[in-house]
Amino acid sequence: MKYNFLWVTIISTNENGYTEELLMIDLSKLTTETRNEKTMNLDELSTAEVLKVMNEEDQTVAKSVSKALPDITKAVDQIVANFNRDGRLFYIGAGTSGRLGVLDAAECVPTFGTDPEMVQGLIAGDMKAMTVAVEGAEDSKELGIEDLKAHGLTDKDTVVGIAASGRTPYVIGGLDYAKEVGAATISLACNDHAEISQHADIQIEVPVGPEVLTGSTRLKSGTAQKLVLNMLSTVSMIGIGKVYKNLMVDVKPTNAKLVERSKRIIMEATDADYELASEMFEKADENVKLAIVMILTGVDLDEAKERLAKAKGFVRKTID
C-alpha cells in the first residue's frame, strides 16, 4: 500500500490570536519523498553494497547543481549588490535545511572576517532546534515572520529560504514577509516546481531525486543544499573583496592554527619569507590584508589602510 498524503496542522496568527488549519499535503508530487528503485531492499544489502549505492547516488548531486548555475549566478549577484548597500544575508529554514544555513553563516566569520550580523542563519524553533527537533515549528508561517522581524529586516537585506521539500510553511512565511519589507528573496529547493519558488524573486531548484533512505533529506538533498550554500557565501565574499587571488585574506586569526595560516597566506600572496611575513603581520596588527598591501606596495600601515579604504577592500585594486 502506498501512502501519498500527509495531514499536517498549519499554525497561523490572526487578529484574534492563534488558529489551526488542518491541511493535506500530496507527497506523491515530491520526488524527495518517493522511494528509490535502486534501494528497495536496502536492509538486505551488505555494508559494502549500501556504501556503494550511496556513493553512486551522491555523485549525481553535483550534476544537478550544475544545471542550476544560471539561477545561482543571479542569486550571488543580488547578494553582492545588497552587501554593497550595507545589507545583510539571512538564511531561513527548518530541520536539516535550517541547520545547514546556520552552519554556513557561522563559517563566514572566521573564514572571511565578517561581522556576525552580516550573514545569519535562522532555524525554525530557534537554536535549540540545532540539536533537538522542535515539534510543529516548521509548520508556522507566523514564526518565520516573527524571526525576521526580531532581526530588524530591511529592504537592504537578502533572505534565502531553504527547504528540501520546497513547501515548508516557516520558510514561506519568512519569504512573504521579506517581500513585504522590500528585501531581496531567494528560494532553494530540491524539487522541481517547488511551492517556495512562487514566493521568491530568484528561484534555485536542484532536484536530486529519491533518497537512498526514503524521505531522509539530510542525504542527497542536504548535500545539494550545502553545495549551493557554499557557492552563495563564497562567491559573494569574493564579490566584495574578501579574496585575493584564491587566498582568504580576511581570515580572522582567532587561534594558533589561524595565526600560522595567516602568515602563510601573506607568504603566498607576496612571495615573502616566513620572517618578513611574521614581521609585517605584527606591524599590521594581525590584519592579513594590510600586511599584504604593505609588502606589495612598500607603504606604511596608515597608507595601506587608506589605499584599502579607497579600493573598498579589494587588495588587487591597491596595487594595479
Q: Which residues contact 130 (CB under 8 A, 6 or more apart)?
A: 99, 102, 123
Is residue 205 part of the annotated active site? The answer reads no
DSSP H helical ranges for 68-165: 69-83, 95-112, 141-150
State the catalytic residue, choosing from 107, 142, 146, 268: 107
State the catalytic residue, choosing from 33, 57, 138, 205: 138
Cell of 86: 550595507
Cell of 18: 492563534
Whole-number Å distance between alpha carbons of 177 and 217:
26
Is residue 107 part of the annotated active site? The answer reads yes
In this structure, are residues 18 and 9 in contact, taking their beta carbons and an 8 Å threshold?
no
Could you identify the residue written with the cell 596608515? 302
Neighbours of 314 (CB within 10 A): 19
Q: How many distinct helices (H) and strands (E) make up the chain?
A: 11, 7
In this structure, are residues 185 and 201 in contact, taking their beta carbons and an 8 Å threshold?
yes
Q: Angle 288-297/274-283 helices, nearest 10 degrees?
A: 110
Radius of gyration of the chain (CA): 23
Residues annotated catalytic, as ranges: 107, 138
